[in-house]
Structure 1
Amino acid sequence: MACAELEEFATEVAAATNNEVKITVHAGGQLGFKGPEMLGAIRDGLVPTGTFMFSQQVGTSPVLGAGSVPYLVSGFDEMKTFWKLARPYFDGEFKRFNQKLLFTIAWPGQNVFAKTELSSADTFRSMKIRTTDRNGSDFFRTLGASPAQILWGEVVPALPTGWCATST
């Protein structure tokens, strides 16, 4: 999530509460937690609030990965419909972790970028592919690809290994 949106949210909360509630934004893992650790860090009281991509929480909460199933949602209109249907389930899952979902930011769905045309499922059989979560890894493994789950912050260091030649 971009820092600008978080700073804007913090400013709006301060204004709405006459500065009784102030949020300090710590971006980019400054507090020592990576995205996949945030759900547990908030649940365990290590931080009072936090942001993360839902898909990064699939290992802890498979429900939160529903929106990252490749090709499930295509475009913002379908995303709005998905959120309308999924929100009660997400709210229930956050309640299970003693949390409250305050806001979300639409994020692009899974995509594949490749140097060659992907004309059929067979095309994936010899492909190494970067995925962002377990859902993507499972999906592409089913197609015969060799997926590697690599967080965004680890992509640049992984480029020389060849794992990021294609990505989702």
Structure 2
Amino acid sequence: MFEAFKPKIAGGCAALAVAAMAGGAFAPAPAGAQTWDMPTPYPDATFHTQNIMEFAEDVKAATDGALEIEVHSAGSLFKHPEIKNAVRSRQVPIGEFFLSLLTNENAAFGIDSQPFLATTYEQAEALWAAQKPVITELLAEQDLMPLYAVPWPPQGLYTQEPVESVEDLKGVKFRSYNAALERFAQLAGAAPTQVEVPDIPQAFATGRVEAMITSPSTGANSKAWDFVDHYYDIKAWVPKNIVVVNKRSFAALDESVQTAILNAAQQAQGRGWQMSQEETAEKTQVLADNGMEVHQPSDALMQGLKEIGDKMIAEWKQEAGPAGEEILEDYRSRISD
């Protein structure tokens, strides 16, 4: 079993002597200093990972080194689907994952991946405010606590061939990354295939997939122009990544360290939402600069896609039950104000 959550105590006099003999500066960590290993699913170039690295630096600075967070990116420590349970079981005390991956546990986790429910950052923020109390309770049942959540840019459609209507997606091998997108592909008549972000280029190169819905960030970072020609700015949904901490691991910390983590998390959430908005414009331009045709979708395509979205919301409401109805009512009251 990987023992990530182990305090790493600063070295004693012998270590100081060695450092002095080497002629280097040596600043011992505070007595009882700890290092937390933090698995994340995305590469270092992804803005989510960059934001987390800043979060880790903020925690280190605010605690004067009493707590250091070592970020293990790109699924190098735990694969994406394993991260939540690794935090739950205290193999690691903290981790990041795509929130709607938990849809199979409870539909409330996946409302932000329902097509055309919340398609702007303002709507996404209102949806998160409505969703957070419900998922906080659900995560607490697994000894987990959310620290912050950051959205991806609105999701776009990438295809090898031009798409004028939903009918053009029939039979196409379609990348999925959660239950909602798998269902979306099915309703569009496409053939869904689960593919994680690091595997996207190979999946296209080997013919496992021929189209995908994902953010401009993922498209640019995976060099989508190497395997598809068309990007449609359909703004399908604005899904989120979430950073969670094990509640017992958090409770074991000194109160001052807990406060430092919560403050750093608040800063990371605000910074991350801003980074996401900047990313949308920058990475869409990167797609165009590298030869992809960036399209506004046709009316026929959007009509067909929204019809799929309406079906999925109806199914989601039935599955989510009273908790889902509570989220939807809260969300709709917020966007109607």
> 1:25 is aligned with what amino acid?
V
Name the CA shift for 1:109/1:34 in 2 (closer, same or farther; >3 Å).
farther
Structure ID, larger Rg:
2
Which residue does the alignment assign to 2:25? none
Which residue does the alignment assign to 1:3? 49
Q: CA deviation at 1:112?
A: 1.7
Which residue does the alignment assign to 1:28? 74
Coordinate RMSD, CA, aligned: 1.9
Instruction: Pick from 137, 146, 163 the counterpart of residue 117 of structure 1.
Output: 163
Which residue does the alignment assign to 1:57? 102
> 2:76 is aligned with what amino acid?
Q
Which residue does the alignment assign to 2:64? 18
Q: CA deviation at 1:70?
A: 2.7
Q: CA deviation at 1:145?
A: 1.4
Which residue does the alignment assign to 1:163? 208
Higher RCO (Cα < 8 Å, 6 or more apart): 2
Aligned residues: 166
**1:80 correspondence with 2:125:** yes
Distance 1:146 1:30 in 2: 29
Q: CA deviation at 1:116?
A: 1.6
Q: CA deviation at 1:10?
A: 1.0
Q: What is the TM-score when the length of structure 1 is the normalising length?
A: 0.87
Q: CA deviation at 1:61?
A: 4.5
Deviations 1:7-65 (A, max 9, x none): 1111212233333222111112222x111111111111111111111123334454322
Which residue does the alignment assign to 2:31? none
Distance 1:81 1:124 in 2: 31
Is residue 172–residue 210 contact of structure 2 (8 Å, CA) maintained in 1?
Answer: no
Is residue 36–residue 57 contact of structure 1 (8 Å, CA) maintained in 2?
Answer: no
Q: CA deviation at 1:156?
A: 1.6
Q: Which moved more, 1:19-28 or 1:59-68?
A: 59-68
Distance 1:61 1:149 in 2: 20
Which residue does the alignment assign to 1:153? 198
Q: What is the TM-score when the length of structure 2 is the normalising length?
A: 0.46
Distance 1:78 1:35 in 2: 27
Runs of 5+ unmatched residues, structure 2: 1-41, 43-47, 214-337
Taking only the aligned residue pairs, the percentage that are identical comes to 27
Runs of 5+ unmatched residues, structure 1: none
